[in-house]
Structure 1
Amino acid sequence: MKGKIYSLLLLLILAVALVACGNSGESKNNDGATKGEETEAKSTLQMALGQQPNTIDPLVTTATATAYAAKPIFESLLTLNENFEIAPMLAETYEVSEDGKTITFKLRSGIKFHNGEEMTADDVLASMNRWMEMSSQAKASLADAKWEKVDEETIELQLEEPSLIALFTVAEQNQQAAVMPKEIVEAAGENGVDEYIGTGPFQFVEWKTDQYIHYTKFEDYQPRTEPASGLAGEKIALVDDVYWNFVPDESTRISGLISGEYDVSIGVSPDNVQQIEATDGIEPEIWTYGMELLVFNKKEGVFTEQKMRQAINAALDFEAVLLASFGADHFFELEHGIFQPHMEDWYVDTGKDKYNQKDVEQAQQLLEEAGYDGEEITILTSREYPHYYNAAVAVQQQLEQVGLNVKLDIYDWATLLDRRSDPELWDIFFTGWDTQVIPHGYAFIDSKTEWAGWTNSLEMDELLEEIGDAATQEEAKVAVGKLQEEFWEYLPVVNLGLFKNTDGYSDKVSGFENFIGPTIWNVSVEE
């Protein structure tokens, strides 16, 4: 009897063990994968984008298409974390002297360029000097500063006076202070570098015009050890190859996303968000980009007259323009500030009385005072950015109702960028500007940048200097209040409000996010 009981107990134990083994094979981990099973990952990430850059050299242009395409390749001494705070990248550490006039950067050791060469202080020095020559913000904010090599692992930024904004300028991502090999920098011409070689997690392979840019994983990349945050911290290439496909037609991008041809589609118009939401296997990501801007040509033509600019600002119904641009109010915010409200160090309320006036009588009075006599007003626009195009059409209609003679010139985006550099060819164009961490990041405010539109305001220039020279953040914020008041008086641009971008991505994609554009490191794709 005892033997039978032991036999039954043994069988029961074995049965429980088998059930337990079976259950462990079916239990799920946090991301839904089965424990004990390897999740098959794709080695290639396929991106679809509407716009092709005219270069991948980030110093040549402020165009978003270039900044996005350059992100995987190039890195700078400093960068920005998810809170828009300064964080080191190629600098191991940085230190500001007691008098505030010298910033010392200790370089990370063992960092390699994509050509296999190790980064040196000479490479960094050459790169920073080129950046000082070409970056509109560096020229404006650090005009009298100098870079010096201290030793093989250290360089210094020497300032004429202490500057509240110097570190932010070095960390700025538009016209990024990209570190490249010295020989590449020295061989660069007016149109930029001939080879795209940086230190980033992905390296450039080829660019097939009108088709794609191909990146591949940089096997010798040395990531930082801090947790990933914004553009800072650990950056890991989790796929071997990335194809940056140029697909101007949005319906083609979306159909490719649905079919699985593309893993991510950058730029989904509000009209198509519902289609993304209703389709199994793909999801939208809606994120606040920055300001939707109407830019005036202040160098030639009717808008050299300030009252003409004020007339346009008085006439327009901003909400109607933004609704025409985006189709629904959850894709934009009526906001007059040059900073977002959550940015407490910089956000101010001045100038609000001149925002979204919708005052036709005031506009016509200003037109009369400006001496407008029916001159043709040319608006540059492109269908490659539907919301800019829609804004241009809406503004044309509103201005014609006020009595202005307005025509649209429609081009592909690359051609528009070329034409906007010639003040004889346009009067207005539309663009977006991502929210900056300092006011000096807005090239349309600073006269010294000579950015398209050609701002020339002594008052705003002096206020920018006052902000940079401020001893405290509180003092700087007071000056920002004065700057924003003058901004709405001088009107280098019309800030229509904040807008949101939408991207679509497969639910097989993990880790994808937008921070000052799409990031492709720390991103994986399941089979």
Structure 2
Amino acid sequence: MKKSLLILILLFIISLIVGCNAETTSENNNDQKETNDGVQNEDDESEDENDAGGVLKIGWNSLPSALDPHITTDSGPRNIGPNIFETLVTVNANNEIEPMLAESYEISDDGKIITFLLREGVQFHNGEEMKAEDVVASMQRWQEFSSAAKSELGESTWEAADEYTVILNVENPSYVLVESLAVLTQFPAIMPKEIIEAADETGVKEYVGTGPFKFEELKQDQYIKLVKFDNYTPLSNTSGGLAGKKEALVDELYFYHVPDTATRVSGLISGEYDVIPEVELDAVPQLESSNEVNLMHATIGIETINFNKQKGLFTDVRARDAVNLAIDKEAIMTSILTNSDYFELDPSLVTKVNTTWYSDAGMDEYEKYDPDEAKKLLEEVGYDGEEIRIIVTKESMFQYQGAIPLQEQLQNIGMNVKLDIMDYPTWLDNRKDPDKWELVIHSWSPQPTPLQYLFLDSKADYPGWTNSAEIDEHLKNIRASQTQESAKEEYEKLQTTFWKEKPVIVVGHYSQLDALSNKVEGYEMFMNVPIFWNTSIED
């Protein structure tokens, strides 16, 4: 009986142990199921803390109606497009050319063949791998539409040597040809071949690139939405300018259409927006009074007065000379930028930070101011009071604020000047028509080389329609240069000729101010392109 009792006790103890183990296993399984159903464990929370994520909201004064960078010089695709699209080569923080979608490139001794070796494994947003046929289709289309491409490439041709090798057969070798492939306005974005082939004169039907963000939605006059591209293939080298490693640190980018300055400023202070580029400077005191906001000085560009040189009064250089003599450049820049902390009076087509090309040639012409002499020149050219139209949009405060003193100063020498105010899309359309304007104020973002300013080149067919044999000869000589020293020497001659002929007038150099929430980290502006990769926001 004792033995039987002992056996019963042992069996009871074993059953208790088995039951406890089963319960523990069941609890563990339930915990795992909850985790799989979305309930995070401590490790998951730690991983999420390392991934910033979130939504970055940008209050923008004017959004584009389309984002195809091949077919327009509009600033919208230029500013938003680099988040979506990438190029073969790009510009680093030192204004030097670096490969982007190209692994490397090689120029033949005679400059007639440039061979691009592509990076392998780079995905488009549609999941397809980028290959040589996509690059060739994209570059051919860009060459068809871009004024800069027509100027630099002429009848040059592209071919795919194999899946990852692209060859550019150069018609006329140029010292600055590769730099032209890194142009920032109307830039040569690489897209899938099938999307290029499906495009029409209005643009591509889908916005598919290789960038760190992919296009999600465009609601006209409301917002543009981009989302993080999870399969983005970054470079490993250090970030700088538009080159190097890129990483989407937020999940979504919203670019909101907010044309009213006060609304954008109050929205930033209240937290409705996280970044507002191109702040009007009269809003600075209000922004500085907020503990939630940081201000950032951005890259300087140039402000110009552009002439219609195809029709009307300003086909005569003496009329352009009259405008140069009549205008108080400091007064115009002060009207645009409030005070001299935000601008410089300088005749150069490139800014001082671009030490490779900067020159002050033409300073004597730039500094001339003689309204009485301006009146005499108008008499010489036979000006008889015909209406001079300055086309302008209030959606660009730089334009509008500069046009007001320009109108007054030209009226003071007897010109009949009208401000023709319109919305931004209409302004873009009218600018292409020589029958609809005589003058326009234009802000030009920095470019890697001065040759990329489209108002210089007769072959560019850019609104304003420069046609100067002497300027064209300087451009030709720069492209034929063998060294930077000889190219710079020829460029100084070009700038002297520029101020003699005045295809446009450089009024001054400007500084852009951006405002951002103090929760935003890593944001930069380079050559007036806002950089939203490598940018994060604190929850």
Please indicate, yes or no, whether the TM-score normalized by the shorter chain is above 0.5. Answer: yes
Q: Which residue of 2 aligns with 1:511?
A: 522
| Mapped contact 2:298–2:526 kept (Cα < 8 A) | no
Letter in 1 for 2:506: N
Larger radius of gyration: 2
Taking the aligned partners of 1:36 and 1:245, their CA distance within structure 2 comes to 31
Taking the aligned partners of 1:103 and 1:214, their CA distance within structure 2 comes to 37
Residue 428 (str. 1) matches residue 435 (str. 2): no
Q: Which residue of 2 aligns with 1:358?
A: 369
Q: Identify the match of residue 282 of structure 2 among 266, 271, 278.
A: 271
Residue 469 (str. 1) matches residue 488 (str. 2): no
Residue 307 (str. 1) matches residue 323 (str. 2): no
Q: What does 1:332-411 correspond to in 2, within 5 Å?
A: 332-411=343-422
Deviates most, 382-391 or 212-221: 382-391
Q: What does 1:4-15 correspond to in 2, within 5 Å?
A: none
Q: Which residue of 2 aligns with 1:45?
A: 56
| Mapped contact 1:39–1:526 kept (Cα < 8 A) | no
Deviates most, 109-118 or 272-281: 272-281
Q: Structure 1 residue 38: deviation in Å?
A: 4.5
Q: Which residue of 1 aligns with 2:128?
A: 117
Q: Could you list the per-position Cα deviations for residues 144-168 of structure 1 after superposition, in whole angstroms to 9, with x for gaps in the alignment?
A: 3211211111011121343211110
List gaps (5 residues or longer) in structure 1: 1-34
Q: Structure 1 residue 301: deviation in Å?
A: 1.6
Taking the aligned partners of 1:163 and 1:302, their CA distance within structure 2 comes to 35
Q: Structure 1 residue 266: deviation in Å?
A: 1.4
Q: Which residue of 1 aligns with 2:221?
A: 210
Q: Which residue of 2 aligns with 1:57?
A: 68
Q: Could you list the per-position Cα deviations for residues 309-343 of structure 1 after superposition, in whole angstroms to 9, with x for gaps in the alignment?
A: 11001111100111111111111110100112232
CA RMSD across the alignment: 1.5
Q: Structure 1 residue 344: deviation in Å?
A: 2.7
Q: Identify the match of residue 222 of structure 1 among 225, 233, 236.
A: 233
Letter in 1 for 2:69: P
Deviates most, 218-227 or 412-421: 412-421
Q: What does 1:170-181 correspond to in 2, within 5 Å?
A: 170-181=181-192
Q: Which residue of 1 aligns with 2:96?
A: 85
Q: Structure 1 residue 36: deviation in Å?
A: 12
Taking the aligned partners of 2:268 and 2:47, their CA distance within structure 1 comes to 30
Letter in 1 for 2:305: L
Aligned pair count reads 493
| Mapped contact 1:73–1:197 kept (Cα < 8 A) | yes
Q: Identify the match of residue 469 of structure 2 among 453, 458, 462.
A: 458
Q: Identify the match of residue 489 of structure 1 among 487, 500, 504.
A: 500
Taking the aligned partners of 2:217 and 2:514, their CA distance within structure 1 comes to 25
TM-score by length of 1: 0.91
Letter in 2 for 1:362: E
Q: Which residue of 2 aligns with 1:142?
A: 153
Helix, strand or coil for the counterpart of 1:242?
strand
Q: Identify the match of residue 180 of structure 2 among 166, 169, 177.
A: 169
| Mapped contact 1:202–1:237 kept (Cα < 8 A) | yes
Q: Which residue of 1 aligns with 2:205?
A: 194
Sort the Cα spacing of 1:473 and 1:41 in 2 relative to 1 into closer, same or farther, 3 A. closer
Q: Could you list the per-position Cα deviations for residues 159-189 of structure 1 after superposition, in whole angstroms to 9, with x for gaps in the alignment?
A: 1343211110111121111100001111111
Sort the Cα spacing of 1:196 and 1:40 in 2 relative to 1 into closer, same or farther, 3 A. closer
Q: Which residue of 2 aligns with 1:319?
A: 330
Letter in 1 for 2:66: T
Q: Identify the match of residue 438 of structure 1 among 449, 466, 491.
A: 449
Q: Structure 1 residue 142: deviation in Å?
A: 1.1
Q: Structure 1 residue 288: deviation in Å?
A: 3.0
Sort the Cα spacing of 1:114 and 1:40 in 2 relative to 1 into closer, same or farther, 3 A. closer
Taking the aligned partners of 1:363 and 1:413, their CA distance within structure 2 comes to 32
Taking the aligned partners of 2:537 and 2:524, their CA distance within structure 1 comes to 13
Taking the aligned partners of 2:184 and 2:410, their CA distance within structure 1 comes to 35
Taking the aligned partners of 1:138 and 1:104, their CA distance within structure 2 comes to 18
Q: Which residue of 2 aligns with 1:448?
A: 459
Q: Could you list the per-position Cα deviations for residues 351-376 of structure 1 after superposition, in whole angstroms to 9, with x for gaps in the alignment?
A: 11110322112211211111111111
Taking the aligned partners of 2:54 and 2:48, their CA distance within structure 1 comes to 18
TM-score by length of 2: 0.89
Q: Which residue of 2 aligns with 1:520?
A: 532
